[in-house]
Amino acid sequence: MTDAPIADRRSTLRTHHGDTFDDPYEWLREKDSPEVIAHLEAENAHTDAELAHLAELRETLFQEIKGRVQETDLSVPTRRGAWWYYSRTEEGAQYGIHCRTAAVADDWTPPVLEPGVAVPGEVVLLDGNIEADGHDFFSLGAFDTSDDGALLLWSTDFEGDELYTVRVRDLRTGETLPDEIPDTGSAFFTPDGTGILYTTRDDAWRPDTLWLHRVGTPMSSDVQLFHEADEKFWLGAGITRSRRYLVIALGSSVTSEEHLVDLTGDLTATPMVVWPRREGVEYSLDHAIVDGEDRLLILHNDEALDFELVSVAASDPQGERRVVLPHEPGRRLLGMDAFRDFATIEYRREGLERVGLLDYTTDAVDDIAFDEPLYSAGVSGNPEWHSPFLRVGYTSFVTPGTVYELDLASRELVLRKQVAVLGGYDPQDYGQRRAWATASDGTQVPISLVWKRSFGEPGTQPRPVHLYGYGSYEHSIDPGFSVARLSELDRGVVFAVAHVRGGGEMGRQWYEDGKLLQKRNTFTDFVACGRHLVDGGVTTPELLVAEGGSAGGLLMGAVANLAPELFAGILAAVPFVDALTTILDPSLPLTVIEWDEWGDPLHGADVYEYMKSYSPYENIRDGVAYPRILAVTSLNDTRVLYVEPAKWVAALRVAGASDVLLKCEMVAGHGGVSGRYNSWKERAFELAWLLDTVGLAGD
């Protein structure tokens, strides 16, 4: 054991609603302070020293992950206009290469591309490895081609702060044009390719303004098309698949407002509001042509908790609403995409995603059927208004990512590609099922389990369990395949997901029951899931490791305080563990937007008191035997600042936690390191710690 860094205690008083909190580690917020950087580097050095004995295991895990991945590979080409677009990877290269090849006019069957075989007529649009050269971090943001295929725009971030610089290339000549737009969010071409629409952010990192840049003109002449002044609302924009409307989407966590600009007219005209914002009403839309009439299909929750779908005239969106799919409790409508002859509907029932086709004439929905009991499916990669095929992505805990195309004439699913898993992977060697835990208030909470069958059915004898959770923003942790996870499953670990309240797995009410002044349900649900696995003989506290990231990191901090005796270890990635301090400060990135999720403790004494009762940093218990803890963060993260886990770790140590480590990436953002090999090494680092915690480091 090496001596852990002990941060200085420096009094910083925070007083709200008559309550004063003395924060001894708030000084660590000074990101540019050499003293703070030195402390973070000392934490990294301590972590490296403490985990040096796992170096060989980390390398083994990295090689296992790498060895299962077909490093030279290609995506299924997607047709847009006269071209097939695809990306490919090459062995030894960190980043993808974006390409295209010409399409035959009436051929909608994607060409079959073989890894390592030259593609006839290939045009390399962008090589991420060239873009990243000379940079420690690289993230590709926007990537778009003009409708005629003549121009490319792309944006890059080299810091991890999610501020991107847009550039433009003439694909006819290969020339990179002088146009350069820094500090952007999203960006895309106007349909005629003469303009670029892009968003910028305010000082709190909130996307708030939409701009129009004319290609070939100076940025100083860019036109502001829309500005959202309300600091609780973010702004997004896009163009309907029909290419008829520009949609400007404004939203908080609980309220929406969308505006339209008819692209057959003046792009700079005043946008038309579809439905004026009303607190608590969310909606999204797409453009369809039904019986020759321009209609808007609108998915909304106005007096419809799990949402309903209506149709309105595009010329009069606030006029008569025709109900297409009525509200049906237990069927949570998630999304809708309009095509020329039909729309797709994505919804959730009984905790699973489902996809159906909506007939414009009858309003009937024809579901796409899949065989596995646990799976994820969604519509993706369908840019064209009309095509004889509909592309669908599919995966499960045991089925690698799969691309199907639904033949719209025969309604047959055609397999286009399944991600190759090298080394003799057989999905029949692994099992998956769902269990149910009883929460403290009697609610039944689903748990997904996946395991290797050769170790026996979970529950026949206690085994190491890796329990993952999130539980915020109505975000669902759906079944999905992971190559890296095989390294733990093959060593006898059972992977489990606790689908706790605050997520969206069981419908909108599931989310409502795990937010604001009911947030504690998220934490107690997770504890109930852990205890269910222990009581059912699946595992023991000595073999149970929990993991969560971002808002799931808040969950990790909370359960460490609530039930430290239940876990052998807790892995917290970019954890939101100083929640109250952050949500009290509207000057911090995205704080005001977050008030709809957590409440407003700055102006509400009841919210302040409630958040203070669970915020992990402020509820650390002196003298308690905490489990092993590994906190992973990034210096340039703008969503959950590095200071939160830094303060948390410092306070845990002083309270007597005997094995708590902090790993801070000094050049990265919220998503961690960039580059696939770097990401695999990062995951190998975390898995080695996890396996060591449950006594499998030698296996």
Residues assigned a catalytic role: 550, 637, 670
Structure tokens at 620: 């650390």
At which residue do the structure tokens 């529950």 appear?
459
Kindly list the distances between the CA atom of residue 394 and the CA atoms of 5, 80, 344, 449, in Å, as whole numbers in the listed order: 46, 22, 15, 18
Share of the chain residues as helix, strand and coil, in percent rounded to the nearest 5: 25, 35, 45
C-beta of residue 390 within 8 angstroms of C-beta of residue 405: yes
Asked whether the CA dihedral 420, 423, 429, 430 is positive or negative, the reply is: negative
Answer yes or no: are the C-beta atoms of 165 and 182 closer than 8 Å: yes
Rg (CA), the chain: 26
Tokens of 468: 């993952």
CA atoms within 13 A on the CB side of 643: 19
d(CA 61, CA 54): 10
Q: Which of 245, 344, 258, 248 is nearest to 287 (CA)?
A: 245
HSE toward the beta carbon, residue 477, CA cutoff 13 A: 25
First to last CA, the chain: 23
DSSP annotation of 185 reads S
Cα→Cα distances 501→330, 420, 526, 579, Å: 15, 34, 9, 18
Closest residue by Cα to residue 539 from 665, 411, 451, 414: 451
Are the CB atoms for 497 and 448 separated by under 8 Å?
Answer: yes
Are 651 and 617 a contacting pair, CB within 8 Å?
A: yes
CA atoms of 239 and 331, how far apart (whole Å): 28
The first and second tokens of residue 86, run together, are 């695809």
Residue with tokens 């845990």: 652
Query: Is residue 67 within 8 Å of 423, Cβ to Cβ?
Result: yes
Q: Answer yes or no: are the C-beta atoms of 314 and 365 closer than 8 Å.
A: no
β-strands 465-469, 544-549 pairing = parallel
